[in-house]
Amino acid sequence: MRLAIVADACLPTADDWSRNPRTLAEGLTGLGHEVTLLATASGAPTAADHTGRHARAMLSPCGADTGTALTLLRPGCDTVLSLGTGAPTAAAVLAATLGIPLAVFLPPRLFDADPPPAGYGRLLCRHLPAAMLIAESRRQLATARHHGADPHRVFVVPPGIDVGPPPAPGGRGDDGRLRLLVDATGIAAQEQRFLAEVLATLAAGRHRIHTTVLGDATTGHLWDGRPDTAVLTPPDTATLAGLYHDADVILVPGGGDRTVALLRAMAAGRALLAADSPAVQDTVGTTRNGMLARAGDPHEWVDKLDYLLDGHALRLHLGRGARLHAETHHSLAQTLRELDTRLVSLAASWRYPEPAGS
């Protein structure tokens, strides 16, 4: 089957993540499809947007330059797949021009708030001429239906990540300290300061801990001068996997779309404490594969961290549950197979047999 993926140029670039357009294109190609990847100019493109095995072009988010895309697509393209917040309009224009079905990944940020904002969500769910809408969870599915989506064209395809081989059991480091990993990538400065104060309160007690903070160029000064704290900006996914596997407890603060960080923690088989929100609840089930704490409540964060650091058996229990959940529901291979099944069914339902004698 021939697919065109229209994606925002500014989507997250984690190369082990199913919502990365390049990972999606490579995975679907591996399943036997011919994929053309097109980027909308809704964000700053990187050099990689114009290189690699898949043809690419920069499109207007409003679909005004559809001809650019048409020159890259061979005759017989079967389906257009939209990925991102800015891509649906351009993808819809392209699909309508070619007379082929459109599949739209509903942007998860639409569903971060509870209830989500109605305007754009209603446009995608009710008015966009899509043949298939793809939600990330049952909550998003229910919300899409609430906004007017046809129940027969909305499906759940959970996001997937490369879970890797089973992790080794966790334990204290050689110096006897417990190791905390904080994924602060893309987190607002105010939220990072809040968590830094929580960890300072914890370290002032009886626990011996060492904290590693994952961040970007703006993160370091927020953690300056804090003892037993290292700030890193890992250059690649392999380094990230090692850091997650070395941790005893992984903290995922902040709101927004934190699914990549959550699934990395779960795939590592480590105890997880995350900020409570509807979007996080789509992935983390309290007491089964992680723990949740209310954002901005320092007492709850300290209490739950203290509980986790005290309980080696509890950490093992949560880590095993997290790993099982990641393997069962969020492996990259499983996500690609589920998406493949949906897209093949969509293309088949769009083709009607020619009348006899035509």
Q: Residues 10-64: pLDDT tens digits?
A: 776 677 889 888 899 999 999 999 998 888 865 433 334 434 455 555 555 555 5
What average pLDDT does range 301-306 have in this prediction?
Answer: 93
Q: With the CA atoms of 336, 137, 14 and 63 taken in that order, what torsion angle do they form, in degrees rounded to the nearest 10? A: 80
* DSSP, res 67: H
Place 175 in a pLDDT band, splitting at 50, 70 and 90: low
Report the pLDDT value the prediction gives residue 62, as an integer from 0 to 100.
Answer: 53
240 with 264: CB under 8 angstroms? yes
Question: Is it true that the peptide bond before 115 is cis, omega within 30 degrees of 0?
Answer: yes
Report the pLDDT value the prediction gives residue 313, as an integer from 0 to 100.
Answer: 92
* 85-128 pLDDT tens trace: 888 888 888 888 888 999 999 987 777 665 656 677 778 888 88
Report the pLDDT value the prediction gives residue 330, as an integer from 0 to 100.
Answer: 94
* Cα–Cα distance for residue pair 18/10, rounded to 1 Å: 15
What average pLDDT does range 178-191 have in this prediction?
Answer: 87
Q: Which has more confidence, 54 or 304?
A: 304
Name 86's Cβ contacts closer than 8 Å, sequence gap at least 6: 8, 40, 42, 43, 61
* 221-250 pLDDT tens trace: 788 778 888 888 887 777 888 899 999 999
* Cα–Cα distance for residue pair 154/18, rounded to 1 Å: 19
Report the pLDDT value the prediction gives residue 43, as an integer from 0 to 100.
Answer: 43
* Cα–Cα distance for residue pair 180/214, rounded to 1 Å: 11
Q: Is the pLDDT of residue 304 over 80?
A: yes
If phi > 0 it is left, if psi is from -120 to 50 it is alpha, else beta; for residue 294 that is beta
The residue whose two tokens read 């190791």 is: 179
* 131-155 pLDDT tens trace: 899 999 998 899 888 888 899 999 9
What average pLDDT does range 70-94 have in this prediction?
Answer: 82
Q: Which has more confidence, 225 or 259?
A: 259
Q: Is the pLDDT of residue 279 over 90?
A: no
Please report which helix (H) or strand (E) contains residue 210, including its range.
strand 209-214
If phi > 0 it is left, if psi is from -120 to 50 it is alpha, else beta; for residue 3 that is beta
Q: Which has more confidence, 70 or 345?
A: 345
Q: Which has more confidence, 246 or 353?
A: 246
Report the pLDDT value the prediction gives residue 49, as an integer from 0 to 100.
Answer: 40
Number of CB atoms found within 10 A of residue 229's CB? 19
Place 160 in a pLDDT band, splitting at 50, 70 and 90: very high
What average pLDDT does range 188-212 have in this prediction?
Answer: 87
> Measured between alpha carbons, how far is residue 262 from residues 89, 126, 161, 209, 250 in Å?
30, 30, 10, 21, 9
**pLDDT over 70 percentage in the chain:** 82
* Cα–Cα distance for residue pair 292/149, rounded to 1 Å: 31
Number of CB atoms found within 10 A of residue 97's CB? 14
Q: Mean pLDDT in the chain?
A: 82
Closest CA to 190 of 155, 217, 218, 163: 218
